[in-house]
A and B are shown apart, each in its own frame.
Chain A
């Protein structure tokens, strides 16, 4: 990595007031940004400037700022979570950008992700998909012997990979069709691969896909953009698994 230096960036940011139908882009310049600061810290600097000059600060989502909660999410220069792979927006650093560069910052755009304010969108559609079967509802009882249920290493690894989805919504944002297939498939896959998920497998696959469609997400056309922007590198192999689970559910029901 190059040495720390301070850079100036020009921003074109989406601003949209609460309950406002249409938003617009506004331009700002943030000076003296350390290349060691994170992208969100750069936006914090912008908000300090805006506050000092009596303007309304920019609203954007963030929580843990260490890439594990899935709260943050911006489309930076046309790519969800910005130009670096396998990270959430909060883990993106300003050293990825050049001095004097213009950055276009937009919210995650999809019909089911209704705008709340500025760069914040409502992602509760994901919660409603989960509520249709993204869980195991059997009574687990008291703890069993650790190896009472044998699970092949490969399956437990794949299930863990799927379970690493943090539900940020970057897959929807990046998808040319605004499909939520990667998210839904990860939530289906993490149970489909484990014996504990089997009793409810049929209901889970069909109901979660139904809810995904009902929310108004697009269809998956296998562009694979979701996989490329996913901070947890969830693969589209999960989407194929979701389809298999759905077909199985269709044949069993």
Chain B
């Protein structure tokens, strides 16, 4: 077995890496969404205990996941930028007129804007980390006691953040872009992995739309619910 770097960074290899990292990141945000649903229970302890568990009870696993995520993020970004760059070089004179061939074409707004939606999702992810992961914590008085254990009051922070309409609008936009990104990204990842089957591919293509809607709306439901309930869940 000699999976050389030249093979990995060939046109086929790059898409393989992009697909694997993309699906991994999708897995992560899916878990993130499910975890965040504890916010909607209205029980502040449930969400805080969940956050506390992730940070303090997972031990070395937390770092494996965190650094792993960074690696997959970088892999996804590097391969995507490389694909995009090759595309700029491969057609030095652009068409005066472009139209879709229609028929079986899978060219959509989603597929042609992947690099832009991806870039905006990255901006969102960084801002999201600043707001929450590196936001006010115990030192700023955001503490609570759950079952006799003192922990960061992430629930209070979440409620405070999402009561601001600016955040709500930004989250709606960012997650709509995330949905748009997944709409092409989901089925395309399987195609990049060489997985195409006359029966399964049409299902995966439709499933991509469902996953895009779940992710796009799922992450908006939480801040919107908090905002419209005035923070009292």
Contacts and interface: CB of A to CB of B under 8 A. Distances in A.
A221 B111 contact: yes
Interface stretch (B9-17, B175-183, B214-222): B9-17
Interface in B94-123: 94-107, 111-112, 114
A59 interface: no
B83 interface: yes
Contacts of B140: none
Contacts of B111: 221-223
B129 interface: no
A80 B86 contact: no
Interface stretch (B51-59, B165-173, B189-197, B225-233): B189-197
Contact of B91 (A109, A239, A242): A109
Contacts of B187: 222
A174 B102 CA distance: 11
B105 to A, nearest CB: 4
Interface residues of A, number: 54
Q: Is the interface of A mostly helix, strand, loop or mixed?
A: mixed
B87 A222 contact: no
Interface string A18-53: 000001010000000000000000000000000000
A244 B194 contact: yes
B interface bracket (residues with beta carbon within 8 Å of A): 35 or more
B21 interface: no
Given A216-B90, A253-B2, A221 B104 contact: no
A176 B14 CA distance: 17
Interface in A113-143: none
B87 A219 contact: yes
A225 B99 CA distance: 10
Contacts of A78: 95, 97-99
B3 interface: yes
Contacts of B106: 222-224
B139 to A, nearest CB: 46
A64 to B, nearest CB: 22
Contact of A209 (B4, B11, B198): B11
Interface stretch (A65-73, A89-97, A145-153, A177-185): A177-185
A77 B101 CA distance: 10
B82 to A, nearest CB: 8
A85 B102 contact: yes
Contacts of B193: 243
Contact of B104 (A228, A241, A242, A247): A228
Interface string B4-29: 10010011111110000000000000
Contacts of A220: 11, 15
Nearest to A235: B104
A243 B194 contact: yes
B93 A219 contact: no
A220 to B, nearest CB: 7
B96 A106 contact: yes
B196 to A, nearest CB: 3
Given A181-B11, A219-B15, A240-B194, A111 B102 contact: no
Contacts of A57: none
Nearest to B111: A223
Contacts of B48: none
B88 to A, nearest CB: 9
Interface of B: 1-4, 7, 10-16, 82-83, 86-87, 89-107, 111-112, 114, 184, 187-188, 191-196, 198, 201
Q: Which 6 A-B pairs have the closest CB atoms?
A: A228-B101, A240-B196, A78-B99, A224-B106, A218-B90, A243-B194
23 contacts: A23-B93, A78-B99, A111-B90, A111-B92, A177-B86, A177-B90, A177-B91, A216-B90, A218-B86, A219-B82, A219-B83, A219-B86, A220-B15, A221-B15, A223-B111, A224-B107, A228-B100, A228-B105, A241-B196, A246-B10, A246-B194, A250-B7, A252-B1
